[in-house]
Amino acid sequence: MVTDRKRREPRSGGHRRVGPVGLRRAGRVRELVVSGVIDSFGMALGWTVLVLLAVSRGGLAEAALYNAAMLIGVVLSAPVTGWLSRRYAGRTLLRGAAGTEILLRVGALAGLIVGLPSWLIAVAVTAMHVAAWVGFAAMRAEVAAVDARPRSMTRYALAIAAVEAAGTGLGALLPAGPDGYPTGWPLVLIFIAYAGSLIPTIISSRRARMMPHGAARRIMPARILRYAVSTLTGGTGITGHRRGPARRPRRRLAVSPRLLVAGGGIMLLASGPTLLAIPLTTELHGRHWVAGAAIAFSLGCLLATVAVEAIGTMKLPAVLRWTLWGVAMLVGWLGAPMHAVSVLIAQFLAGVSQTAFEGDMDALVADEAPADGITTALAYSASVRALGGSVAVKLLPMMVTAQAIDKAVSAAVLALGVAALLIWAVTALPRLHRPPVPIPE
């Protein structure tokens, strides 16, 4: 998708002036952030109740099934996002995704309560998360269209990550009835929050700027299109070379397969315990520790930006950085069966590492993607990570029980450690043995 914004802020003396356009931009970003925060709170609250109900009904295996279904939905959302974004404007895309997700949220939770088969709930969960991630990609593209500076996107992502802890904690602390889920008026409020939290997104969509790729190219003058592309890519343009009016920029693959394989592999080896944190914490130490684990994860998320900047100064190859993030996602879980505090430490480290890894990967993918394929590239980046995570959460309960999670973690840490050494040997050692450049006299 591209944006139909046609005005730019006035500049004077090289400094940006805060005028009516800037105030409207700040207000729009604030509106998008608030909509995303409310949606994420409701989603985290309802999803926590759904997972805890699955644990009480079928143990870790059933909870893992729904988590795998969730991640498969994220995987499928990438091609769906690409197809829809070429055909529908942002307003239609956001409203359609949110409306579909409301129905599926209510249907999945209600179906689990009344005892529908697990496979049917899993199908609903998959469809629900396809709609959710289509909407999430559209919201991120809308934020970039309004203000392409990294600060706005980071603010949006961190606000969502922080509020998810509140929704998860509240869902875990609500009093449960004999069947493992809240009853009476708390259950009514859960349904209202779970479905109603998407209403601000539907209201916010009335001001959406995003347009289908083809429509934008048909109606936008060349100068405005070049400005929009420059804004979305940080001023780098499409190629950096002048082209004649008859030539079109050559299309290239939006995402590097090498990056996708590496990102999916890291998630396959490292993300299982973190993605299953709610059922694992419940089985190991009781549901009352779930809220603390969620808060610890969110606190770690808030430090991810600092961690990325610190590691970035080391100038390590991207895949080596990602492997080290994977090790950090796992090490805290080595002591998880022994004491609940270890779970808090594990989730804090996972919050730092997983958020840093995802941000690092998305930044590199967006930098390599063509200007008109950034939204689709980011969708595929999230999709391949979700594919690795879905396999991990499905296999982990088949290999070990919750009490033996440290054994699976030890094997994964060993595998990632060996991979890191091999990557370092291949990439760093040749540079160390490179002969020095002679200094001219």
Contacts of 115 (CB under 8 A, 6+ apart): none
Which is higher by pLDDT, 251 or 87? 87
Copy the structure tokens of residue 240. Answer: 């950096």
pLDDT, position 345? 93
pLDDT for 175 beyond 60? yes
pLDDT, position 136? 83
pLDDT, position 267? 92
pLDDT, position 249? 43
Lowest mean pLDDT among 247-251, 273-277, 306-310: 247-251
pLDDT for 14 beyond 50? no
Q: Crossing angle, helix 222-232 and helix 118-146, to 10 degrees?
A: 110
Give whole-number Cα distances, 349 to 172, 293, 297, 354, in Å. 21, 11, 7, 8
pLDDT for 217 beyond 60? no
pLDDT, position 137? 78
pLDDT, position 268? 92
Contact 380, 54 (CB under 8 A): no
Strands (E) across 252-410 are located at none
- Indicate the pTM of the whole model: 0.67
Which is higher by pLDDT, 161 or 64? 64
pLDDT for 257 beyond 70? yes
Closest of 97, 69, 93 to residue 210, by C-alpha = 93
pLDDT tens figures, 226-235: 433 343 334 4
pLDDT for 140 beyond 80? no
What mean pLDDT value characterizes the chain? Answer: 77
What confidence tier does 122 reach under pLDDT thresholds 50, 70, 90? very high
Which is higher by pLDDT, 105 or 207? 105
Copy the structure tokens of residue 399. Answer: 């290999």
Give whole-number Cα distances, 104 to 62, 117, 438, in Å. 19, 16, 67
